[in-house]
Amino acid sequence: MSDSATTLADLREIVRRFVEERDWRQFHSPKNLSMSLAIEAAELMEHFQWIDVAESRRVADDPAKVAGVGEEIADVLCYLLALANELDIDLSTALRDTMVKNAQKYPAELSRGRFDPPTTS
């Protein structure tokens, strides 16, 4: 029941079953799911819309606010899993591949404390 004991496949299966029990794959085209994911991402942003960057860090200390944010993150994750299901994408492989590319684009020693990629000279 926690992230250290739950595989990606476990969560994918929860979403897959929910969708199939409602015959919702007819709505779950990749186009629609990508829109849905973006809509939920915007709802997540609403929690941080008017507050400062520093204040957004203090949300971590407020259990009620963390719970609210957690619900929106779960909605984003739900559509992300549904999209991975529709396109049969292995998320663990995709994430690892991306992190390898990111490590090449942002070498640790050159990227410490700067968010833009180092210029090659």
Write out the binding residues for its own copies, residues 41-100 only, by CB under 8 A: 41-54, 56-57, 59-60, 66, 69-71, 73-78, 80-81, 83-84, 86-99
Return the number of the residue (2 or 121) whose C-beta is nearest its own copies.
Answer: 2
Report how far residue 69's alpha carbon sits from residue 98's, in angstroms, rounded to the nearest whole number: 25
| Interface residue with its own copies, options 9, 82, 104, 119 (CB under 8 A) | 9
Q: CA geometry: angle at 91 spanning 56 and 103, to 5°?
A: 70
Is-contact 35 119, C-beta < 8 A?
no
Distance of closest approach, residue 119 Cβ to its own copies, in angstroms? 16
Distance of closest approach, residue 32 Cβ to its own copies, in angstroms? 6
Distance of closest approach, residue 67 Cβ to its own copies, in angstroms? 9
Is-contact 15 82, C-beta < 8 A?
yes
User: Is 118 among the residues that bind its own copies (CB under 8 A)?
Assistant: no
Is-contact 92 98, C-beta < 8 A?
no
- How many residues at the interface with its own copies, by CB under 8 A? 85
Closest residue by Cα to residue 87 from 34, 50, 20: 34
| Interface residue with its own copies, options 64, 104, 115, 119 (CB under 8 A) | 115
